[in-house]
Amino acid sequence: MGAECHVLETFLRAGHMCVTSLADYWELGTGCGPLLEWMEQLWLLVVLAVLCLLALLLALRVWLVLRQGVECRPGRKGCVSLMVVAGSGGHTTEILRLLSSLSKSYSPTHYVLAETDKMSEDKIHLFENTRTSGVYKSTYSIHRIPRSREVRQSWSSSFLTTLQSMLYSFPLTARLQPDLVLCNGPGTCVPACFSAFLLGVFGIKKIIIIYVESICRVETLSLSGRLLYYISDYFIVQWPQLQTKYPKSIYLGRIV
């Protein structure tokens, strides 16, 4: 925020100098005070208009990226690369159940885990090894980013740790450039999905974001779900009660 204020101040000062030097150039006397004031106000208006325009353009871009998801069909090229956000315990079990039914065209799979999560890694290796059969060899990789939120961590400090986690997840997502991000609610999926979304906003790559709310959410969405409801391209819930509450969501029955 401080930096933005500084930029604005510099703009206004430049406007003031510009106006006064123009006044000097036209050799306007001290009698033209009201005119100078008017020109300064005009400058301020121009600055504000430019800022509004930028905000509007950004909003338009965000809206376009959100709409793009529905038309994006990466499957037409034959294979779809996945970024899967696995979380502690139950989340990983659930997401592996979902992956188990996908065809071999979904490859390679890049798993993103919270740094402190050892158990998920073992589960993933076990899962991928059982998937490898005959000629078919599954290709996958595991990446780690700092945990964005521990169980029981307060909302305000979660915000800071999520930002910190973004510093790692954004370059990672930009490097992997998956076609699709699949996640089901661990804290780590918030920075991962926002990174994927930003790549779309910056025009680097439109990544489809698919959020599957955990089966343990029957009446209310998780914090991650509430945040990602707005930026996900497909938001899937597993209980009809939730579908009624969140009209954008999709209900396919129990899928894990």
Partner 1 sequence: MGKTVFVTVGTTSFDDLISCVSAKETVRILKGLGYNRLILQIGRGTIEPAPCCTSDFLLEFFRYKDSLVEDIKSADLVISHAGAGSCLETLGEGKPLIVVINEQLMSNHQIELAKQLYKDGHLYYCTCSTIGNTLQTMNLSALKNFSPGKPENFAAFLDKVVGMK
Q: List residues near partner 1 by CB under 8 A.
A: 72-76, 80, 88-90, 92-94, 97-98, 100-103, 105-106, 119, 122-123, 126, 151-152, 179-180, 208, 210, 212, 214-220, 222, 234, 236, 238-239, 250, 252-256
CA-based angle 215:181:186, to the nearest 5? 40
| For partner 1, the closer CB: 15 or 185 | 185
Residue 212 CB-density burial (10 A; 0-12 exposed, 13-18 middle, 19+ buried): buried
Q: Give the closest residue to 236 by CA, choosing from 179, 184, 181, 178.
A: 184
| For partner 1, the closer CB: 76 or 175 | 76
- CB of residue 106 to partner 1, shortest distance in Å: 8
| For partner 1, the closer CB: 1 or 151 | 151
DSSP bridge partners of 251: 237
- CB of residue 15 to partner 1, shortest distance in Å: 50
Helix, coil or strand: residue 202: coil
- CB of residue 144 to partner 1, shortest distance in Å: 17
- CB of residue 6 to partner 1, shortest distance in Å: 39
The Cα–Cα gap between 187 and 161 comes to 10
Backbone φ, ψ for residue 135 (5° rounding): -70, -30
- CB of residue 160 to partner 1, shortest distance in Å: 18
> Where do the DSSP E strands lie in the chain?
80-85, 106-114, 140-145, 180-183, 208-212, 234-237, 250-251
| For partner 1, the closer CB: 58 or 255 | 255
| For partner 1, the closer CB: 33 or 89 | 89
